[in-house]
Structure 1
Amino acid sequence: MTRFYDLASLTKPLVTAPLALAFLDLDADRRWRLGFHDRDTPLTVRQLLSHSSGLPPWRPFTGDPVAQQLRREVMGHPLLRPATPGLATYSDLNYRLLAELLEAETGVPFGRIGAASGLSPAPWRTRPTEVPDGPDAVAWPLATEVPLPSRSPWLPHDANARAGMQGHAGFGATPAQLEAALGRWVACGWPQRMAVETASGEEGTRWGLGLQVAHTGPGRFGQLLSRIPPGMGTCVIADSTEPAPPPAPGLDAHPGAASDWWFHLGFTGPALFYRPSDRACLGLLLHRRGPDGLLLDAESLRARRWAALARFVGQSGG
């Protein structure tokens, strides 16, 4: 049976960012339109795309405006912390606001305009492998009294998206569907426009307009990807191996030099890598459900991604 994958946050670079680049002015001040009336500095699409808006990582999607939610006090949880001053802070809220702006600008529901990507908007006709709830379900009751939305096999696996939050997740694909979508994505020039260094972020990250730089320090994906020879084209790796792979190499505290690759990761396991110099594009599809049925922690998930990439690099002559 052909597997269907919840792409999670790959929705950001594959759907939301291209739509924003196509329809929105990158530098117009959107403070007032988005309800940030007490913000002292402009709020732009460029900031939202590069996670340099100063918004915190996450708030539960309850239907309330982001600006209104941010006025409320929340209990301690890593997802509920404030942004790091002066550094890009990866935030689902940036892309939630982009979806709002896109709907207002086009007059078309986000899922409908996003379907032009060739990916499948939720609710899906085919169930992806079920992934247990993650940190957002734990943080949810710490930030709102609204009950956590119930699970559904036809909706994405994070609490936000199954409540209806758009822009940051909500699309899925089969391997063949993703490969076709990536081919169109590259041919239209979207990743070339996104792989432009825009903001420095937390822990040495460097963000463009929807993608981040892959570094070459020990244990970083850029270390592996830099061995892939030119001319790879577009390729999708669908890894369905259940046994746990060996641990990935240890991560050095310093990310190391920038590679010539850019990337994005999805909560449920998938990953996306792009090299502007030859427009090489690699999609990685895997599930975050471990052999015992539990959610893989971040290090176990990195090991699975590393193992799949290492096999591919070896097969490609790197």
Structure 2
Amino acid sequence: MLPTFYDLASLTKPLVTAPLALAFLDLDADRRWSLGFTERETPLTVRQMLSHSSGLPPWRPYTGEPLAAQLKRAVPEHPLLRAATPGLATYSDLNFRLLAQLLELETGVPFTRLGASSGLSPAPWPQPPVPVPDAPDAEAWALATDQPLPARDPHLPHDANARAGMVGHAGFGTTAPQLLAALRHWVSEGWPERMAVGATPGEGGTRWGLGLQTVFAGGGRFGQLLSKIPLGTDIQVLEDATDLPPLPAPVLDADQGPITDWWFHLGYTGPALFYRPADRCTIALLLHRRGPRGELLDVEALRARRWAILARFVEQWGG
């Protein structure tokens, strides 16, 4: 029986795109003109894109046209189509779309070919992942463009932009053994150490490094569990391929609590990634976002599933 295959979704950002950007691109050169943002009044740099502090909005449908031109058009009200919060890092798929564009300009090599060095699998995939329903990006797509939503295909990413061809922010997948090997390479090359630096203030109290964000230890937050993992723990890939609903996670307190020494990233299809610089401990969660009736899990149900798989791992230390 083949191992379960997972769509990594936005884990593509820290595992593929950010390492390539750190390897090939100048972090502080002004890229306004090369990316077509000729009317922008302030510089546009790779450092801003990696830390989501460029001021770009969270999302636009990938139509193949230049992003700078696309952003000039008005769009209806929708959470994904809103503007960035002034003065705060605003998580945006568009930052990593531009990073992929810069990488291809700089190297002359297609992004998916560059990304294969990660050890992960670029779409289209021979083995399809567990299918999940479309997320709010499909709804926003219809509001923002007259182009039809790209057809679903079991061998293409669940993310509407990624299956439309937008590289940089999604589009890679993996099995658990494959991810373990890829993480060992990722850590040994020092990529997460270069991402887990600085702390740019972001929306909702988030703080971003260069492709990873800090973990907080407030009530119901993953730092509560991660802080119980002893120093010296090796790289771990924790897998849960079931559709069974977990017990509810602890209530999420409004107070985020103190910043821990962990950094993380999440993927909308379910997977999660955590990294601790002190001992280079890396914990990856592989799961999917489909519920027992085939529905797309909401944010709270997905947090509960992630909490459950991480809690089982922490229990071995009496946590």
Alignment TM class, shorter chain as reference: over 0.9
The residue that corresponds to 1:294 in the other structure is 295
CA distance in 2, matches of 1:164, 1:202: 28
The residue that corresponds to 2:115 in the other structure is 114
The residue that corresponds to 1:153 in the other structure is 154
The residue that corresponds to 1:105 in the other structure is 106
The residue that corresponds to 1:230 in the other structure is 231
Q: Shift of residue 242 of structure 1?
A: 2.1
1:244 matches 2:245 = yes
CA distance in 1, matches of 2:205, 2:55: 16
The residue that corresponds to 1:78 in the other structure is 79
The residue that corresponds to 2:62 in the other structure is 61
Per-residue CA shift, 1:165-199, capped at 9, x if unaligned? 00000000000000000000000000000000241
CA distance in 2, matches of 1:260, 1:143: 39
The residue that corresponds to 1:25 in the other structure is 26
How is 1:143-292 mapped onto 2 (pairs within 5 angstroms)? 143-292=144-293
CA distance in 2, matches of 1:20, 1:227: 33
Poorly superposed stretches of 4+, deviation over 6 Å: none
CA distance in 1, matches of 2:290, 2:242: 11
Q: Shift of residue 241 of structure 1?
A: 2.8
CA distance in 1, matches of 2:281, 2:259: 17
Q: Is the contact made by 1:228 and 1:317 (CA closer than 8 Å) also made in structure 2?
A: no
Q: Is the contact made by 1:96 and 1:168 (CA closer than 8 Å) also made in structure 2?
A: yes
SS in 1 for 2:168: coil
CA distance in 2, matches of 1:251, 1:64: 40
SS in 1 for 2:127: coil
Per-residue CA shift, 1:2-50, capped at 9, x if unaligned? 1000000000000000000000000000001111111110000000000
SS in 2 for 1:15: helix
Q: CA RMSD in A?
A: 0.8
SS in 2 for 1:254: coil
SS in 1 for 2:80: helix
Q: Which amino acid aligns with 1:298?
A: V
Q: Which amino acid aligns with 1:266?
A: G
CA distance in 1, matches of 2:199, 2:44: 15
Q: Shift of residue 253 of structure 1?
A: 1.6
The residue that corresponds to 1:36 in the other structure is 37
Q: Is the contact made by 1:204 and 1:254 (CA closer than 8 Å) also made in structure 2?
A: no
Most deviating of 236-245 and 275-284: 236-245
SS in 1 for 2:197: coil
SS in 1 for 2:133: coil
Q: Is the contact made by 1:92 and 1:168 (CA closer than 8 Å) also made in structure 2?
A: yes
Q: Is the contact made by 2:199 and 2:214 (CA closer than 8 Å) also made in structure 1?
A: no
Runs (5+) with no aligned partner, structure 2: none
CA distance in 2, matches of 1:37, 1:187: 39
Normalising by structure 2, we get a TM-score of 0.99
Aligned residue pair count: 318
CA distance in 1, matches of 2:316, 2:284: 15
CA distance in 2, matches of 1:42, 1:253: 35
Normalising by structure 1, we get a TM-score of 0.99
